Chain A
Amino acid sequence: MENLLISLAQNLFPIFGLLAVGGAALMVASRQAVHSVLGFLFAMLCVAGCFLTLEAEFLGIAQLLVYAGGIVVLFLFVVMLVELTKYKEKDIFQKQTKVALLAVAGGLLVVGGALRNALFGPAAKEALTLRPEITNGAVLGNAQAVSRGLFADFLLPFEILSIILLVALVGAVVLAKTERV
């Protein structure tokens, strides 16, 4: 019994990874929009599980809180309100196969190239970690490591990202308010 548990525990990362891929496949393949969102939710939960198995607990919980707890709820909310099977939205959302295939092929090229570089290319001179004095230091939880990364090492990219998000937010408000102005 304990051996089974141990072997399961050692292979949690591939298990969660495969489940995440399964959730993503469900999301793409299902006809019903709500099923798609639930598949997306399942994939997000499994990605959080992957983070947990990699001892990145803070990231895993942030994934749960932000994606599974916030963003997917809003998706589900919108999808439930828009009945895709009846109305003309069907033409907009379900006739994009060609464009989608192109986009996926482009995405695959980029990700595949990056993966190939990472797996078969020359090894990087430095490991892909935060600054060594942070990670090798005394007992620092990964919340500290993440916040050091965000607010010290990568402050500028972080701020630029927040500005992009802010622009998106303002844009959404402007789009939604056009009738009243």
Chain B
Amino acid sequence: METLASLLHTSPATAWMAVKVLMAFGLIMGIAPPLTWAERRGSAMIQDRIGPNRAALFGKIRILGLVQALADGVKFFFKEDLVPPHANKRLFWLAPLLAFVPAMLGFAVIPMGRSFLSGGTEYHLSLLDPGNGMGMLFPMAVGAMAVYGILVAAWSSNNKWAILGGMRASAQMVSYEVGLSLAVIAIFMVTGGYDPHEIVKAQQGTFLGVLPNWYVFRQPFGFLVFFVCMFAEANRLPFDFAEGESEIVAGFHIEYGSMKFALIGLAEYGHILGASALITTMYLGGWGIPFVADHGQIPVIVTFLVFLTKVIALCLVFIWVRWTLPRFRYDQLMNLGWKKLLPISMANLLYFAYRMRG
């Protein structure tokens, strides 16, 4: 670390911060395009089609259609940037940013691997060091900001489909946040803190002797609620009321094209990644390897790869669910959120609070 810092003429702390920022940003931007590919090929597999496989580098190298993501990217950059004449131009321009930035920020507190010592100082693999006082509340707060991107995009487009999509999406996201928070509070309570490093530490060891000590096994109902709410928060099927193409064409981003559309799309995949990272950290032991008691001997890169594996596996679950379940009706969505998930997560919270009585 010191050599890198001296090469860059900065202090080790600044150099490490730069590395972490590049890592978090690169992780999202590096995984999102392959995720779009996985989404299309996965949907094709599930629906017994072939999926995109025509795009090729130099007319030869196809790599199972993976080049398609590259072609899409190039297309987005070179398309004409249209703003509809009746749109509110400034907000129309602002909305993709409002959608994109929160999707990127949520990663800031997630520990992506074991903390390590180098030259006497301890380095952490999360952008914000532990003990920052924000902990897991930060991704929740930033995730709550995502609704503005959708609302502003919907309103500024001046299009009735867009407004319908935005209204449905925002009502849905605000409703599901309640159950989500209650599920999370149960974890904070049992851990005795809301710092992600503490939460990951609290999940090491075994539960009942045979299972990893993950919260997914210790609080299965909380996990269920959190998992379902994450689909709603990320606006993914079966809760994709923001888009619902068979009902309201494409919903809130109907008027968007070119790079603005790409930013909104990237934000969606950023949310999937963020949701997967949150689920991994809170319920699947974060970077911890199951059944390993002492992580001090395991190389940092292995813990990072374990974290990455869990996140990508969850992303694939998101894709799998999208192409397996049909969309809910709006009243079913609200029933599920307020009459089923909220009581379940409240009961979960009360149960664990009762168990903690002194």
Chain A interface residues (CB < 8 Å from chain B): 1-2, 5, 32, 34-35, 38, 41, 52, 55, 57-58, 60-62, 64-65, 68-70, 73-74, 76-77, 80-81, 141-143
Decide: B141 and A61 in contact? CB cutoff 8 A: yes
| 15 further A-B pairs in the complex, CB-CB below 8 A; given A2-B10, A61-B141, A77-B170 | A2-B14, A60-B134, A61-B134, A62-B137, A64-B144, A64-B145, A69-B141, A69-B177, A73-B170, A76-B148, A77-B171, A80-B151, A80-B166, A141-B133, A141-B193
Flag B331-350 by CB within 8 Å of A: 1 or 0 each.
00000000000000000000
Interface residues of B (CB under 8 A from A): 10-11, 14, 88, 91, 131-134, 137-138, 140-142, 144-145, 147-148, 151-152, 155, 163, 166-167, 170-171, 174, 177, 193-194
- Chain B nearest Cβ from A169, distance in angstroms: 15
Q: How far is the CA of A55 from the CA of B145 in the complex (A)?
A: 22
Q: Is the CB of B132 within 8 A of A57?
A: yes
* Residue of A with least CB distance to B194: A143
Complex Cα–Cα for A77 and B147 (A): 11
Q: Is B144's CB under 8 angstroms from A57's CB?
A: no
How far, in whole Å, are A50 and B14 apart by their CA atoms in the complex? 23
Task: Tell me the smallest distance from the CB of A143 to a CB of chain B, in Å.
Answer: 7
Chain A residues with Cβ below 8 Å from B14 are: 2, 5
18 examples of A-B residue contacts, CB within 8 angstroms: A1-B10, A38-B91, A41-B148, A57-B134, A58-B134, A65-B137, A69-B145, A73-B147, A73-B148, A74-B174, A76-B151, A77-B171, A80-B151, A81-B167, A141-B131, A141-B193, A142-B133, A143-B194
Q: Which B residues touch A41, using CB under 8 A?
A: 148
Contacts of B144 in A (CB 8 A): 64-65, 68-70, 73
Q: Which residues of B sit under 8 angstroms from A32, Cβ to Cβ?
A: 88
Q: Kindly report which residue of chain A lies nearest to residue B163, judged by CB atoms.
A: A80
CB distance from B155 to the nearest CB of A (A): 5
Chain A residues positioned under 8 Å from B151 (CB to CB)? 73, 76-77, 80
Minimum CB–CB distance from B9 to chain A (whole Å) comes to: 8
Bound complex: CA of A141 vs CA of B11, how far in Å? 28
Give the CA-CA distance A177 to B213 in the complex, in Å.
Answer: 49
CB nearest to B140 among chain A residues = A65
Complex CA gap A81/B167 in Å reads 9
Q: A34-B91, A38-B91 are in contact. Are A65 and B133 (CB under 8 A)?
A: no
Residues in B with CB closer than 8 Å to A141 are 131, 133, 193
- For the complex, give the distance between the alpha carbons of A109 and B342 in Å: 45
Query: Can you list the 3 inter-chain pairs with the closest CB atoms, starting with the nearest?
Result: A69-B144, A57-B133, A64-B141
Chain A residues within an 8 Å CB radius of B138: 61
Distance from A107 Cβ to chain B, minimum over Cβ atoms (Å): 28
CB-CB nearest in chain B for A41: B148
What's the nearest-Cβ distance from chain A to residue B192, in Å? 11
List the B residue with the shortest CB-CB distance to A48. B141
A68 touches B134 (CB 8 A): no
Nearest CB in chain A: distance from B8 CB, A? 10
Which residues of chain A are near B152, meaning CB under 8 Å?
Answer: 34, 38
Task: Decide: A70 and B137 in contact? CB cutoff 8 A.
Answer: no
Contact check, A143 vs B133: say whether CB atoms are below 8 A apart: yes
Query: Least Cβ distance of A126 to chain B in Å?
Result: 25
* A80 in contact with B148 (CB, 8 Å): no
Q: Which of chain A's residues have a CB closer than 8 A to the CB of B155?
A: 34, 80
Nearest chain A CB to B325 CB, angstrom units = 27
Q: Using Cβ atoms and an 8 Å threshold, which residues of chain B touch A57?
A: 132-134
Instruction: Give every chain A residue within 8 A of B171 (Cβ-Cβ).
Output: 77
Chain A residue, CB-CB nearest to B14: A2
B11 touches A2 (CB 8 A): yes
Shortest Cβ distance from A1 into B: residue: B10
Q: Could you say which residues of chain A place their CB within 8 Å of the CB of B193?
A: 141
- In the assembly, what is the distance between CA of A143 and CA of B188, in Å? 12
A62, chain B: closest CB distance, angstroms:
8
Our pick among A1, A35, A55, A80 for the contact of B133 (Cβ within 8 Å) is A55
CA distance A80 to B91 in the complex (A): 13
In the bound complex, how far is the Cα of B198 from the Cα of A141, in angstroms? 14
Across the interface, which residues of B come within 8 angstroms of A1, CB to CB?
Answer: 10
